[in-house]
Structure 1
Amino acid sequence: MEIENYIVSTDQQLVACVLSGDPVAFEHLFNRYRDSIYQLYVQRTGGNADDASDLLQETFVKVYLNLQRYDSRYTFGQWVYTIARNTFIDYTRRRRDDTVSIDRLGERMSSSLGGPTPEERMITDQNRARLEAILDRMSPRYRQLIELRFFKEYSYEEIAAKLSLPMGTVKTGIHRAREQLCRFIADRGGGER
């Protein structure tokens, strides 16, 4: 599809393209909602840009993993906002010693959006397998940072202490790891580089 076609496509058309295997369409969906969701998180975290960035990435990983569950009776923006709101609620309730595995994360996402049908469960399992494949492609350092920050929900300070690294190194590493994760997701859901 030509770039102009992505720009003029509706959200529902882009969702259909993503579900049929077009990673560029997801990038356009992300770009449409990135700034507004980020600003929402900046406001709700009291201006904490690091947490806002983390929440934004977490939101769009959830959007990607659950895209097949989007109901076109609602606007895509409403659906993304609902995921963002639920992600923020989870963020405020987290306990630092939570050890959420990738499987548990998928279960939490499914339960927060209503019970899955067998078809949705199969698609979620496939997406979880794709996420695992993407994580396997990441460098060990970046994978460790992603797992600590997003699956085990460690704070930056806890990660710095656990890995005996300066705070700046941790922040930079997590930023680069998130970028790599998003690049791999956009790259055909974890296909060729």
Structure 2
Amino acid sequence: MEGNRTYSESELIRRIQAGESGLFQELARRHSESLLRCAFTLCRDQQFSEDLAQEALLEGWRFIGRFDGRCQFSTWLYGILRHRFLKSLRRKSLQEPHSWLLDADPLMTAETIDPVHQLQLNEDASRLRQAVALLPDEHRQVIELRFFAEASLEDIAAVLDVPLGTVKSRLHNGLEKLRQQKITVNLFSNTRESGVKS
């Protein structure tokens, strides 16, 4: 990037579409982490999710000329991801691996100082993971995408190919089911419950 200049996303896309294809690396860097988390939520397999994210980015680079700005670039990219996921399912007849929620703890960081507090957080996060894993798929996917993958409601609608209103309804119902189990949403690292109304 010339002179280490930081471009806005819209300018970056415009320059790539104008022929500066080398800038796509920066665009991919900005979206790769959230794209990988969304892929993981869909397929629940680490290697498969990495392959899906790479394929989506590659396809995004090849067809960026088709991006017309009528939606967020992330929404467009997640739409590609979902298409690749469904295509891979048909090709591989993939069996769903066990939930990553039961194996990994995306909520914890190494920065917690108090060991007693750390233990309580670990116990709370474990209860949360188990509770989310037991939700119906339609609620589990929305909650994982919203809070663990930190996807916007619009992006979730693109990933799952459902209307925005359906995403809001599923998120509301999923959070309500967690409340009924005495699971508090403040256990999430980036709770945005207000998004249900947005």
| TM-score normalised by the chain length of structure 2 | 0.43
More helix by proportion, 1 or 2?
A: 1
Structure exhibiting the larger radius of gyration computed from Cα positions: 2
| TM-score normalised by the chain length of structure 1 | 0.44
